Amino acid sequence: MRPCSFLPVLLVCGCLSSCQGELSQHQRRFGNDRPVIGILTQIVSDEVMKQYGSTYIPASYVKYIESAGSRVMPIRLTLTTTEYENIFSRINGLLLIGGASNLETSDFARVSNIFFQLALKANEAGDHFPVWGTCLGMQLLTVLVSGHNLLTGAEADNVALPLNLTAAAFSSHMFGGFPQELMRALQKEPLTGHFHHYGLAEKAFKQNVELQDFFSLISTNVGKNGVTFVSTIEGKRYPFYGVQWHPEVNRFQWDGTKSFPHSPRAVQLSSLLAQFFVNEGRRSLHIFDDPTKEVLTLIYKYTPVFAESFSGYEQIYFF
């Protein structure tokens, strides 16, 4: 894949400002019912797409997060470390999307590492902050944890597959609450869309101490070249999650030339995973101290571009 009158507004804003302390108390008791998930923008590499912007987020990821009851903040790759620290203190989770970027030298990798380190420190201090990586995002998580790019050729491009679940899957946070029928289907039916040429071999995962200590191996798959690769991982101590496949496409991408799973169970899988991650974000008590600034940072101020004619996406947000 390529990839209201003036006075009422014042009254409303004044009320919101005066209720910030009360809202924080509500959060501590019941969890955050106004989560904001940050989505890190991806670097534009396609020449046609460069006319629209230098970074982008496919709209399918935005819809995926919004469908589970969260708002989205796009995070650009050109800010300072201090600005990223300020963003981190306000958002309730981070999504690292798929795409095509160097996992060690790109701005996508550099900014991801800033948030990764902030998330580690926060979780260690009891400040719950989830991170999710999809496809390239999952691959990047393995680089950040291990300190090395351990990827190898593991082609599973434009194919839908069942998952080879490990024993850890059935007690995992990601899948532990799934209906038994869906768990059976996940192992037999092609519910997960794969669009990658590289992956982390299961053998490399098991031979790396840092990855073994940090992640539980939840599922594997076999590439066209016969390599068994890691397809789902979950942090053992931290709420960090990774999938080599794309759960967002099951509901929000429709290119007929792509192997996007659209069966009822595929839709259920996508819906449950989006709810799971957003619910993880609800456990984060980060909050904007200024509701006006909050509104201005969200995805709503941007308009997606119709992109079906030059990409595998229907809509893309460019920045």
The catalytic residue positions are 135, 246
Q: How far apart are CA 3 and CA 312, in angstroms?
A: 5
* Enclosing H/E stretch for 234: strand 228-235
Q: At CB < 8 A and 24+ separation, what contacts does 100-104 make?
A: 100/3, 100/42, 100/43, 100/45, 100/136, 101/42, 101/43, 101/45, 101/136, 103/136, 103/139, 103/140, 103/143, 103/149, 103/151, 104/143, 104/149
C-alpha 312: how far from chain center: 19
Distant-in-sequence, close-in-space partners of 246: CB < 8 Å, separation ≥ 6: 1, 98, 134, 135, 192, 193, 194, 195
**Residue whose structure tokens are 């923008």:** 41
Structure tokens at 9: 């507004």
Query: Sign of the CA dihedral 42, 296, 284, 247?
Result: negative
Q: How far apart are CA 288 and CA 293, in angstroms?
A: 8
Q: How far apart are CA 101 and CA 157, in angstroms?
A: 17
Q: How far apart are CA 319 and CA 316, in angstroms?
A: 10
Structure tokens at 26: 């509500």
DSSP states of 16-82 as a string? HHHTHHHHHHHHHHH--SS-EEEEE-EE--STTGGGT-SEEEEHHHHHHHHTTT-EEEEE-SS--HH
